Chains A and B, each alone.
Chain A
């Protein structure tokens, strides 16, 4: 019998496996396009998003204005491109906040049994609040600004990540190599930082993708309700809020920002599913 020596997969192998699924590849491409449009908005947007033109008010979609114009004659396509910047930036910041806070809480709860009871009950309580309701209450307390929206959504989504991290840490702490490290006298902070955290990367990445999608939907909801970004700042949510006022006379105002949200969230969900299947193939067959 010949022994088969398996080398650990490189990052390129992982990416190749991920993108073998054509749907995931398309989702990644759509996301890349949205991100590139947002980054290079000043170069790509056909008009200044804030340029007023009273004579061009409520123009329906045309070659000159593919997404039409709004109540101030501003180009909806240009505003949608710039709005993508804010929506992506806010969602990314929420992921970073929830990522850091969730990892700290999850590791503490999963690794230290004494802290687990307190942290877990707190997480249970936080998870009982519907996300939009909790987020608008937090914004009401903190005051309305984009920074506070990020804080509010970050706090709202921290428990989701913390739960996943706690679950994985509970499994990891019982593994022989962690036991070995402990018995060798490796300091706890090094075990947590060097061994536990490294093995948490995959579940964190998967969960972060889903939180990114949820944060995007939630930010749009908050802006739509008027408790998020200021109405002057173009986000997909504030654009929909304006569109709602002119639903019978200029319905295109709500079509395109809504479609932008759907494309971005759908792509993120497909990518998240693809990553999850890669990390946990047992789930791939079912969900």
Chain B
């Protein structure tokens, strides 16, 4: 039990160091602006006084180390500053957009796993067969398709031509859960199909590795039913790399979601960031970067914890 606690503490320490590095990177990004960030935000029309006011509001008039210390301490307390355009705290703006992105990401992961897991298992089990070759080829093709392009094709086919789905939006403020999910279906399919490719390839690879192990041969030699050999013995042991890649896919999905949300007019974090970029709303850009990267690191940490549950060898 002691070893488990020390593993968890070590991973937690590592996570905190990476989080500090993430905060530092987001702090530095705004300082990469050539010239004065305040002048860049306000544009050519701004007066000297406007620029000086904004510099003060953003704390840019203070020494750089003081700015950094304030930024880190504020971020640690969940204070990501104030949006320059929306006039609300950045965290509130992110929280307001998070629901769409969370549902979209979960929906897309569900679709990706629903495609990748069975196809990956069958593909590995029937290695070298026509089914396997088709699965590998299609997954390669899927990973080469930009998710926003697939989104456009889906809109053109199922929303514009057939009229089965709405072309964009999230169903308005009073929309029920089913309506909102209806709006998310096409974008989730676009994201899910593209991201299923990576999960499929890893599932196939992990299953191929496990299926060649001695204990699988032993299980077969004992006369165990083939379905039980694959599902109970092989899949269970192939789960670790599969869990890892599903966790890693979250980052890919969020990357895809940025563009997909724009294509489908969904009011999510991606859309919030793109609008913030257009308006040069730096606190929102920094805030979304920080939150998304933080969530990614947290997911990785949770995946690590899952390892400990799934595979006792990791505890050693």
- Residues of chain A whose beta carbon lies under 8 Å from any beta carbon of chain B: 121-122, 124-126, 128-134, 136-143, 213, 217, 220-221, 224-227, 240, 243-244, 247-248, 251, 254, 258, 261-262, 265-266, 269-270, 273, 285-287
- Contact status of A122 and B29, CB under 8 A, knowing A130-B254, A225-B259: no
CB distance from A259 to the nearest CB of B (A): 9
Q: Is the interface of A mostly helix, strand, loop or mixed?
A: helix
B280 CB contacts on chain A under 8 angstroms = 140
- Contact status of A254 and B149, CB under 8 A, knowing A137-B29, A140-B280, A141-B29: yes
Q: Is the interface of B mostly helix, strand, loop or mixed?
A: helix
B293 at the binding interface (Cβ < 8 Å): yes
CA distance A131 to B296 in the complex (A): 12
CA distance A133 to B277 in the complex (A): 10
The contact of B274 among A134, A225, A265, by CB within 8 Å, is A225
A265 CB contacts on chain B under 8 angstroms = 144
- Residues of chain B whose beta carbon lies under 8 Å from any beta carbon of chain A: 17-18, 21-22, 24-25, 29-30, 32-34, 37, 40, 140-141, 143-146, 148-149, 152-153, 155-156, 160, 201, 204-205, 208-209, 251-252, 254-256, 258-259, 262-263, 270, 273-274, 276-278, 280, 282, 285-286, 288-289, 292-294, 296-297, 300
Contact across chains for B208 and A286 when beta carbons are under 8 A apart: yes
Contact across chains for A125 and B34 when beta carbons are under 8 A apart: no
CB distance from A274 to the nearest CB of B (A): 12
Contact across chains for B148 and A224 when beta carbons are under 8 A apart: yes
CA distance A226 to B292 in the complex (A): 22
Nearest opposing residue in chain A for B148, CB measure: A224
- Contact status of A130 and B263, CB under 8 A, knowing A139-B277, A141-B32, A240-B149: no
CB distance from B304 to the nearest CB of A (A): 13
- Contact status of A128 and B208, CB under 8 A, knowing A213-B144, A266-B144: no
A254 CB contacts on chain B under 8 angstroms = 149, 152-153, 156
CB distance from B65 to the nearest CB of A (A): 18
Ranked nearest first, the 6 interchain pairs of A and B with the lowest CB-CB distance are A125-B21, A130-B255, A266-B144, A258-B149, A286-B205, A265-B144
CB distance from B227 to the nearest CB of A (A): 23
